[in-house]
């Protein structure tokens, strides 16, 4: 998959329904991975031809994908462990895009440079005191 232009249709945040502020302690499994670099995964899904038209994809498929829970990982000074904290107004960063990259080529088993698919990975916000739990990028590739 050679480098391709990425047409951004929308950059938004998706928030869960309003709720009071909540903090959840992280479990051992969460703590183990916390200090590692974030995991970046790319999942490929094949859509029926009826849904792969950009106008149908962005008006019918994407709205169904925009349901999510969000929060921040915080490490309070008085605590020995970090927590996932949800505050009203928190949201997950979502990028909706389209690319002329070849879907079938992206799925073949031939070795590829990791940099070839970098444009499909969203930016994950972080600082010294907190980090976004998740960022999503939904990109329509041509078959």
Average pLDDT taken over every residue of the chain: 77
Residue-range domains of the chain with CATH? 6-142 (3.30.559.10)
Q: Report d(CA 143, CA 139) in Å as an integer.
A: 13
Contacts of 101 (CB under 8 A, 6+ apart): 1, 2, 4, 119, 141, 142
For residue range 68-109, what is the model confidence (pLDDT) as tens digits?
Answer: 445 567 777 888 877 777 777 777 888 888 888 888 888 888
């Amino acid at each position: 998959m050679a480098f391709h232009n990425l047409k951004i249709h929308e950059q938004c945040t998706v928030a869960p329904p309003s709720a009071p502020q909540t903090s959840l302690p992280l479990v051992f499994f969460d703590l183990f991975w916390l200090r590692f670099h974030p995991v970046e995964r790319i999942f490929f899904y094949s859509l029926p031809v009826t849904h792969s038209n950009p106008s149908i994809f962005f008006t019918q498929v994407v709205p169904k994908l925009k349901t999510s829970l969000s929060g921040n990982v915080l490490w309070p000074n008085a605590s020995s462990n970090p927590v996932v904290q949800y505050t009203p107004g928190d949201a997950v960063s979502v990028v909706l895009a389209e690319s002329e990259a070849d879907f079938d080529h992206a799925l073949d088993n031939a070795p590829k440079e990791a940099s070839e698919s970098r444009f499909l990975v969203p930016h994950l916000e972080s600082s010294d005191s907190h980090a976004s739990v998740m960022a999503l990028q939904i990109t329509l590739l041509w078959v």
